[in-house]
Amino acid sequence: MEEEKKQPFLQVKNVTKRFGSVEALRGVDLTVYTGEILAIVGDNGAGKTTLIKTLSGVLRPDSGEIMIEGKIYKELNPRLALDLGISTVYQDLSLVNCRDIATNIFLGREPVRHKFFVDKRRMVVEAQEFLQQLDMDIPEIHAEVGQLSGGQRQGVAVARAIRFGGKLLIFDEPTAAMGVQESAAVLSLIRQLGQKGYAVILISHNMYEVFELAQHISVMRQGKVVSTVSTSDVTPSDVVALITGAGEIPN
Amino acid sequence: MERKLLKTLQSKHFSQILLLLILLVMGIVLSFLSPYFLTWSNFYNILDQTSVDIILAIGMAFVISSGGIDLSIGSVLAYSGIMMAFAMKAGIPVPLAVALGILAGMFIGLCNGLLISRLHLNPLVTTLGFMSIARGFALILTNSSPIFGFPNAFKFIGSGRVGPVNVPIIIALVIVIISYILLNKTKWGYYTLALGGNEEALRRAGVATHKYRTSIYIFCAMMAAIAGMITVARLNSADPLAGWMVETDAIAAVVLGGTSLSGGRGSIVGAVLACFVLGMLDNGLILMAIPAYYQKLFCGLIIIIALVATELRNRKEHRNFG
């Protein structure tokens, strides 16, 4: 019963992407459901980041389809992806280091006064409130992002994605540079997002994180999703075996 | 101690404060060296001479803040001036002729911008090409000799006065105020700085980065065309060789004013102050009967020093963020 209620928010069908002679994606299939956290795991170079970049519109796939809420797209662009409700925390964070925190959180979506002037005061107030809500430790709201620690910078990137998050939130290794406390805060945030009804994609190398948060795990190897399993059906060592290609799908 | 010094050096307003101090020291030194320096008419002269430099530097400040550069401004200045001159000689009314000249200049900016933003051509080489193209046009159209004699309404732009103030100073002041607001208070300014800071991040935030980048080159060319208008009106002559090498002065003023050569940081106030420093230096050299060529030498040195400083700063930041 429960399973039937869930609608796929996004379906990827046979998506390919080449970079010169390198086949980064070799026909990827993936389904993401609303209200569910899907973990994508795989070795370095398996194509995880390339895949999510096609979903966020940063990269154009060479072939294949992306179906979002029943509509088929051959390719997306960042604007379209955002408008369709896909927000992404990129691995490189995509922050403008020489600008302050509020400016980064509102980048591309600055509130304006009199149609013309960026409402900086409102941006600062809202950014501060929002970061507090998220329990993120930001010492000085006017600081340039470049002056923050790695974890704090990730916090800003996560805050930006969630602040304007539509329906699908993608996290590409969101806690890689974070300390224990910060990553605990972000992980509980991701769990809450799943419970609130967002579709969530989490890319992670951390099996503990994956098993703690995700309902399903898609394993990528050499540019393909080789299997998708329910977290409750497998053990971390099964997943590691799938990543390295040592094991096959347990039935 | 060292940290504190470094912090002051990297402070947002450090360049501006330093420039004010330099202006003050230069003013004191020059007033001792020359009895003519500290006169109202000389001060006014500096202000008037500097107005064109300020307008050029502001256009350049936007381009450099966005991580680009525009070497074509001097040629656009001459080319726009000549288009205006031709239009007026053909009997076209002054406001329309001015508009045509400015649009002609903006067209060069559009070409620069489209090639740089759409085809990702190197801005240095692209604008170098248009520097030569616009200068070539100016020389071909005039057969390399200046055009003289314009209507009084036009000459008013260069040498007229509103009350006690020269028109070029008023134009420069208006442009400074508008540009300050544009860079610091509008989306356009925010995106200019974001383009310089991290273009890909801005694109991923859903912004049509190429449109903004193109518009910045158009804006810069428009500033060069306005500078051309003032130059022609002031001298009552449209010289195809006008604005020779002004790009170095503009670049020097912009980087001296605290705009980062690698983009992402820009200061209008700094650029204006730096124009005054360079203008005062020019003025002082003339008063002391030293050839003004030394000013060019100084500008070149500033650019090289700023480049080195930017490089060192970037290295330090890279070390911080690994």
Whether B27 maps to a domain, the answer reads no
Measured between alpha carbons, how far is B60 from B187 in angstroms, rounded to an integer?
19
> Is pLDDT at A3 greater than 60 in this prediction?
no
- A107 φ, ψ (degrees, to nearest 5): -50, 125
Does residue A72 have a pLDDT over 90?
Answer: yes
**Structural domains of chain A ordered from first start:** 2-93+167-244 (3.40.50.300)
Task: Identify the pLDDT of residue B6.
Answer: 59
pLDDT in tens, A171-225: 999 888 788 888 888 888 889 888 888 999 999 989 999 999 999 999 999 999 9
Query: What span, in angstroms and rounded, lies between the C-alpha atoms of A64 and A74?
Result: 7
Q: Say if B169 falls within a structural domain.
A: yes
Cα separation, A106 vs B32, whole angstroms: 52
B13 vs A: CB within 8 A? no
Q: What is the residue whose two structure tokens read 């390295």?
A: A244
CA angle A248, A250, A251 (to 5 degrees): 130
DSSP B95-146: HHHHHHHHHHHHHHHHHHHHHHHHS---HHHHHHHHHHHHHHHHHHHHTTS-
| B318 → chain A, closest CA residue | A146
**Which one-letter DSSP state was computed for residue B91?**
T
pLDDT at A251 over 50: no
| Average pLDDT of the segment spanning B10-36 | 83
B195: contact with A, CB 8 A cutoff:
no
pLDDT confidence band for B316 (50 / 70 / 90)? confident
Q: Do B205 and A117 touch (CB under 8 A)?
A: no
Summary mean pLDDT of chain A: 90
Pick from A58, A103, A146: CB nearest B190: A103
Min distance A214 CA to chain B CA atoms (Å): 26
- Neighbouring CB atoms inside 10 A of B143's CB total 7
Under 8 Å between Cβ of B117 and B214: yes
- B155 in any annotated domain: yes
More confident residue, A248 or A116: A116
Position B36 scores a pLDDT of 85
Contact B201 A118 (CB under 8 A): no
* Residue-level pLDDT at A10: 94
**pLDDT tens digits, one per residue of B177-203:** 999 999 999 999 999 999 999 999 999
| pLDDT confidence bin for B19, thresholds 50/70/90 | confident
Spatial separation of the C-alpha atoms in residues B175 and B191, rounded to whole Å: 19
Question: pLDDT for B63-98, tens place per residue?
Answer: 999 999 999 999 999 999 999 999 999 999 999 999
Total structural domains in chain B? 1
Q: Which of B277, B267, B316 is nearest to B6 (CA)?
A: B316
- Axis-axis angle for helices B293-321, B268-287 (nearest 10): 150
**For residue A247, with 0-12 CB atoms within 10 Å meaning exposed, 13-18 middle and 19 or more buried, which class applies?**
middle
In tens, the pLDDT along B303-315 reads 888 778 777 877 7
For A26-60, the pLDDT digits (tens) are 999 999 999 999 999 999 889 999 999 999 999 99
**Residue B13's pLDDT band (boundaries 50, 70, 90)?**
confident
Residue B16 tokens, joined: 């501006």
pLDDT of residue B322: 39
What is the CATH classification number for the domain harbouring B70?
A: 1.10.3470
pLDDT of B211 over the 90 cut: yes
User: How far, in Å, CA of B274 to CA of B254, rounded?
Assistant: 7
Supply the ipTM of this predicted assembly. 0.91
Structure tokens that stand for A15 in this block: 């998506």
Q: Does any CB of chain A come closer than 8 Å to the CB of residue B314?
A: no
Q: Is B282 within a domain?
A: yes
Residues 258-297 of B with CB under 8 A from A: 260, 264-265
Output the CA–CA distances (angstroms, integers) from residue B222 to B73, B121, B160, B166, in the order listed: 9, 21, 22, 21
Average pLDDT over all residues of chain B: 91
Look at chain A and count its residues. Answer: 251
pLDDT of residue B217: 98
Does the residue B4 lie in any domain?
Answer: no
A154 touches chain B (CB under 8 A): no
pLDDT above 70 covers what percent of chain B? 94
Whole-angstrom CA distances from A147 to A101, A108, A180, A194, B94 are: 10, 21, 21, 32, 52
Assign residue A87 a region (left: φ > 0; alpha: ψ between -120 and 50; beta: otherwise).
Answer: beta
User: Which among B259, B136, B108 is positioned nearest to B193, based on CA atoms?
Assistant: B259
In the predicted model, what is the mean pLDDT of residues B157-161? 92
Q: Which of B164, B70, B205 is nearest to A157 (CA)?
A: B205
Is B9 domain-assigned?
A: no
Q: Do the Cβ atoms of B286 and B89 come closer than 8 Å?
A: no
* Per-residue confidence (pLDDT) for residue B3, from 0 to 100: 62
Residue B29 maps to a domain = no
Using CB atoms, pick whichever of B193, B194, B206 lies closest to residue A82: B206
pLDDT digits (tens, 9 = 90+) for B212-238: 999 999 999 999 999 999 999 999 999
- A1 has pLDDT over 50: no
Q: Which residue of B has its CA nearest to A144?
A: B12
Residue B138: inside a domain:
yes
CB within 8 Å of chain B, chain A residues 105-134 = 107-110, 112, 116-118, 120
In sequence order, what are the beta bridge partners of B142?
none
Give burial (CB, 10 Å; 0-12/13-18/19+) of B248. middle
pLDDT digits (tens, 9 = 90+) for A83-140: 999 999 999 999 999 999 999 999 999 999 998 899 999 999 999 999 988 877 777 8
Structural domain range at position B287: 43-311
Instruction: From chain A, pick out residues whose CB is under 8 angstroms from the CB of B186.
Output: 116-118
pLDDT of residue B8: 56
- Beta strands A63-68 and A37-42 are unpaired
Q: Cα(A161)–Cα(A150) distance, rounded to whole angstroms?
A: 17
Coil, helix or strand at residue B291: coil
